[in-house]
Amino acid sequence: MRPLFDRPAQEVAPLLLGAVLTRVSEEGTVALRITEVEAYSGEGSDPGSHAHRGRTPRNSVMFGPSGHLYTYFTYGMHVCANVVCLPEGRAAGILLRAGEIVQGEDLARIRRGDAVPKRDLARGPARLAVALGIPLSDGGADLLAPPYSLELDPHPPLAAMSARTGVSGPGGSDAYPWRFFLDGDPTVSPYRASAPRKRAGGAEPPR
């Protein structure tokens, strides 16, 4: 499966729809069916990407082996999870934006709250990471090896497309219609256009 991820993120992203991502921890196992993703290209070609200006200590995982996990904090408190694409030395990633919990719902509820509707357990990138129990320290983990597993849908469902949600500047324009989702699925997060930042150094959108 690894060679699949050596391709550009915008080619791989729709193939992840319907795939089941599982994480096993001491608390138990949670698995979700991926229903929404966003693709981000590499350095110099995508202003919405963390790798746009080249390699840094923060984004170095994006330049590593494909099929691994790139994690980062957003808004100073939430973890977001991405799948690394392209061969080692190049950078691209796919943000996991939403999914349907298909195993371990009780554990996902402990992490997210008993009152949370099932559709909202992993509806949004930060919620998805919480439901699966993905910590920031899992950055660099191989998604094809324990404690993770990734099972692709042999017949990926047809993807709907849009501009990426909440991405400011040129990277959020219709020139990058790299948000892929299952149209009509209740677990897909609502589309949110970017809002101008009110001050320099403000919080950045998940990507």
What's 60's domain CATH number? Answer: 3.10.300.10
pLDDT confidence of residue 191: 84
Rg (CA), the chain: 16
Structure tokens at 20: 């089941």
- Cross-strand bridge partners of residue 179: 38, 162
Please report, in tens digits, the pLDDT of each residue of the chain (207 residues total).
889 999 999 999 999 999 999 999 999 999 999 999 999 998 788 988 999 988 999 999 999 999 999 999 987 789 999 999 999 999 999 999 999 999 999 999 999 999 999 999 999 999 999 999 999 999 999 999 999 999 999 998 999 999 998 786 677 777 899 999 999 999 999 887 755 444 434 334 444
In a domain, residue 153? The reply is yes
In a domain, residue 21? The reply is yes
CA 5/CA 67 separation, integer angstroms = 6
- The sign of the CA dihedral 202, 119, 130, 15 is negative
In a domain, residue 187? The reply is no
Pairing mode, strands 160-162 and 92-103: unpaired
In a domain, residue 199? The reply is no
Q: Which of 29, 40, 149, 139 is nearest to 81 (CA)?
A: 139
CA 23/CA 135 separation, integer angstroms = 11
Which residues span the domain enclosing 173? 2-181
Helices (H) and strands (E) in the chain, counts: 3, 8
pLDDT confidence of residue 197: 47
In a domain, residue 205? The reply is no
In a domain, residue 190? The reply is no
pLDDT confidence of residue 195: 55
In a domain, residue 175? The reply is yes
Backbone angles phi, psi at 137, to 5 degrees: -70, -10
Q: Is 52 left (phi over 0), alpha (psi -120 to 50) or beta?
A: alpha
pLDDT confidence of residue 199: 40
| Number of structural domains found in the chain | 1
CA 124/CA 96 separation, integer angstroms = 8
pTM for the predicted model, two decimal places: 0.90
In a domain, residue 202? The reply is no
